[in-house]
Structure 1
Amino acid sequence: MHILLTGGTGLIGRQLCQHWLSQGHTLTVWSRQPEKVAKICGAQVRGIARLEDLGQAPLDAIINLAGAPIADRPWTSRRKALLWSSRITLTESLLAWLETREQKPALLISGSAVGWYGDGGERELTEESAPVIDDFASQLCIAWEETAQRAEALGLRVILIRTGLVLSADGGFLSRLLLPFKLAMGGPLGNGRQWMPWIHIKDQVGLIDFLLHQNTTSGPYNACAPKPVRNSEFAKTLGAVLHRPAFMPMPSLALKVCLGEMSLLLLGGQKAMPVRLLEAGFTFQFTDLRAALDDLSSRL
């Protein structure tokens, strides 16, 4: 199978490349720095700077994960524009290129996030749930999904991956928590009652691979373990795994002052459930948070 990835050098993309190379697939990564792709993703992975460089080589599937990190810095107007263009504008470019191809892939798997729902409070959120709060993160995900779904008009089957908080020892949000916890300054954020929909990186890769090989799956899938936890429980469990205390809360006001609008990502949450994945027959390796963190602990 020939697979084209955007965001192939990111946290999830790198792991997907390793997984699919081991299965013998042909991989191409569309990147702003194609010369670095082979080093980051694997010597057999081809990097291209322009989609046109792919020519008319037969293509089976596209995995669209590109997007600037949403929680790296406060949401200034300039940052919001970058977050938007790195997702929506890039996906629009992908669609425009697909229109020019005679041979089109059968499938587009496109990234999204549980932020699509907004702050869900205590509601249990399935793929059938409507957005709860119309904040920037929700608007961003909604627009990203709507843009990707336009590929259906070109004959592609479209799958939307609403990812939770990915647990990995190689980067992502967990790496940002390590320093304060190791300094014994970790703890809950705000009142700690917000839900955290988490997923182990192995399950994230596994579910994308699972959906790639299904013939009838389409639409949105919540990519998160079936047992979300509250922020206070997450902090307590991470502290236990690191053998550090986790009693020092970060006040809501301090987060709002320091991060502005972006603090909504930390103070809100989603009790998201992977109903459609379970119905499709996907089996999670990690459903218990402690087991998931223990699996990563030697490299944290």
Structure 2
Amino acid sequence: MQAVFILLSFQSVLGAFDNLWHHEWQARLPQRVSARRELALHAAREALYGLVFLGLAWFEWRGAMAGLLALILAAEVLVTLADFLEEDRTRRLPPLERLLHTVLTISYGGFVALMVPVLHDWASMNTALHFRPHGWVSWLFTLYGLGVLAWSVRNVRAVRRLGQSAARQEPSPAPMADTSPRGPTVLVTGATGFVGSALVRQLQADGRRVIALSRDARQAQALLGQGVWVVEHLDQIPSETRIHAVVHLAGARVVGRPWTAARRRELLDSRVKVAQALVQLMRRLQQVPEVLVSASAVGYYGAANLVSAEALAEDGPPQPGQFQSDLCVAIEHEARRAEALGVRVVRLRLGVVLGRGDGAYPMLALAARFGMGSVLGSGRQPAPWIHLDDALGLIRFGLEHQALQGAVNAVAPDTPSQEGFSRALAQSFGRRVFLRMPGAPLRWLMGEMSTLLLDGQNLVPRAALQAGYRFQHPTLAGALRDLAG
């Protein structure tokens, strides 16, 4: 059995990595309504693995029980095949995920081959679940089993939650078979993201036609519905297409992997190259769009430490040499090229977007619920934020109101310190903040990326207020009550 346990351990480690890296971080399956079937298959497979881990850790499956274990192993094969078909139907797997799946399949085949003679020997015995511990290995596999069963339950809950979300969403309009006018058309990049997917739903509810640019058309179509025209390349859009507005939200996640040179290039290219392609499309179109709403971030102003510092409006300067500032400046520079074509350009500088479905709020809220909210560094750094409703509201306001143009601080009027934010979040769940995280270890571990946590920008949304926008959630306390409710 030693070889069986070694191979199963290898399988469990690779499977955990595949789950966390590809399913959770990259594909974000628990946040995608279209991933319900795939998550259900994952839950079934994880439940089967849990039974195998616990069953082999403590028992010999003798007699007829050997046949039952063989059925469990065969069921895992059928579930995995169904999962492969579902993944191929709904999303494009990255090369590393395909490689991992191949290695996991080979590994599972080796495990089954090792189990065949064991099951044959067990089948010749009297039927029983014979207690047969294996020392510390049994306890290790108990941890494996409990962990994978807990993940199965978590995926079942995600499937139920996504089913409820799907039931609340309005039916999508009929598929767009051509480019003939049927209402104002909006081209959205980053349409499968947290803000983008919510925006697409609102635009469709408004009766607008939506074109979505996505690297994975199958995944985007499954997520957004057949009523959205999904393209993987902008050159798929004919020059005679009438596009009234463009919303540029595309970009790799800034928080996550360390800001190595390669990662910085990825963060820059995922935003700037798309902006360049959008301007090229506008030049090619027979009629240029009326407006471009392009998102950057409050990092435009660089890093500041004190919330008591004078609040900056949109005329505040960038901080050359700071990566987050240089990144935002590059995005806005490319967006402004559209102005030469007669396009009204709105440059949204977004704060941290708070919403239930994704983004920063779910993890922060989970920590606050369990009393794990923390003051980071001095806690005095500004924490600019905006509710998802207002992030969407400002995008739509920018599409519709000629008065809004140029840079716009997309932040709520109420900017607390990081300590104030953390305490308000905890209070929204009836909790308190007890923990403090010194700044020095974070700066040592995260490098310049730590400025996203330990520094901030004290901003005022002057342009939006002067243009007549009214915030739905102007105060942090009110926004957190809405989200916690």
Shorter-chain TM-score: which interval? over 0.9
Counterpart for residue 29 of structure 1? 212
Partner of 2:295: 111
Secondary structure, aligned partner of 1:105: coil
The CA deviation at 1:133 is 6.1
Contact 2:298 2:409 in 1 (8 A): yes
Following the alignment from structure 2 to structure 1, what is the Cα–Cα distance between the partners of residues 420 and 366?
A: 18
Amino acid at match of 1:155: G
Aligned equivalent of 2:395, options 182, 204, 208? 208
What RMSD in Å do the two structures reach over aligned CA positions?
1.4
Q: Distance in 2 between matches of 1:207 and 1:65?
A: 13
Judge which range, 275-284 or 37-46, deviates more: 37-46
User: Take 1:26 and 1:15, find their aligned partners in 2: how far apart are those partners?
Assistant: 15
**Cα distance, 1:254 vs structure 2:** 1.7
Match of 2:409 in 1: 222
1:58 corresponds, among 210, 218, 242, to 242
Question: In structure 1, what residue type is equivalent to 2:354?
Answer: L
- The aligned counterpart of 1:71 is 255
Q: Any conservation in 2 of the 1:120–1:133 contact (CA below 8 Å)?
A: no
AA of the residue aligned to 2:220:
V
State the 1:291 CA deviation. Answer: 1.2
Tell me the CA shift for residue 31 of structure 1: 0.4
Correspondent of 1:95 among 265, 279, 301: 279
Which residue of the partner structure matches residue 188 of structure 2?
5
Which of the numbers 170, 175, 183 marks the counterpart of 2:357?
170
Residue 279 of structure 1, CA deviation: 0.4
Q: Which has the larger radius of gyration?
A: 2
- The residue type equivalent to 2:287 in the other structure is Q
In the alignment, which of 353, 364, 367 is matched to residue 180 of structure 1?
Answer: 367
The TM-score normalised by the length of structure 1 is 0.95
Q: Higher mean Cα deviation, 33-42 or 195-204?
A: 33-42
Is the Cα contact below 8 Å between 2:199 and 2:392 reproduced in 1? yes
**Conserved in 1, the CA contact under 8 Å of 2:186 and 2:211?**
yes
SS state at 1:123 partner: coil
Higher relative contact order (CA 8 A, sep 6+): 1
Q: Identify the residue that residue 234 of structure 1 maps to in structure 2.
A: 421
Q: What amino acid sits opposite 1:74 in the alignment?
A: P
CA distance in 1: counterparts of 2:391 and 2:357, whole angstroms: 14
* Of 126, 130, 139, the match for 2:313: 126
> What's the CA shift for 1:132?
4.5
CA distance in 2, matches of 1:206, 1:264: 28
Matched, 1:253 2:440: yes
Q: Percent of aligned positions with the same letter in both sequences?
A: 37
More helix by share: 2
Q: What secondary structure is seen at the aligned counterpart in 1 of 2:375?
A: coil
Q: Counterpart of 1:169 in 2: which secondary structure?
A: coil
Equivalent residue letter for 2:214: S
CA distance in 1, matches of 2:324, 2:368: 27
Q: Quick one: which amino acid aligns to residue 18 of structure 1?
A: R
The answer to whether residue 84 in structure 2 is matched with residue 84 in structure 1 is: no
Partner of 2:376: 189
Q: TM-score under structure 2 normalisation?
A: 0.60
Report how many aligned residue pairs link the two structures: 298
> Which residue in the other structure is 2:476 paired with?
289
Higher mean C-alpha displacement, 45-54 vs 269-278: 45-54
Which structure shows the higher strand fraction? 1
Cα distance in structure 1, aligned partners of 2:302 and 2:320:
5
For residues 217 and 290 of structure 1, the distance between their equivalents in structure 2, rounded to whole angstroms, comes to 28
| Secondary structure of the corresponding residue to residue 4 of structure 1 | strand
Number of the residue aligned with 1:154: 341
Distance 2:444 2:369 in 1: 24
Could you list the per-position Cα deviations for residues 184-225 of structure 1 after superposition, in whole angstroms to 9, with x for gaps in the alignment? 222111010001111100011011111111124210000011
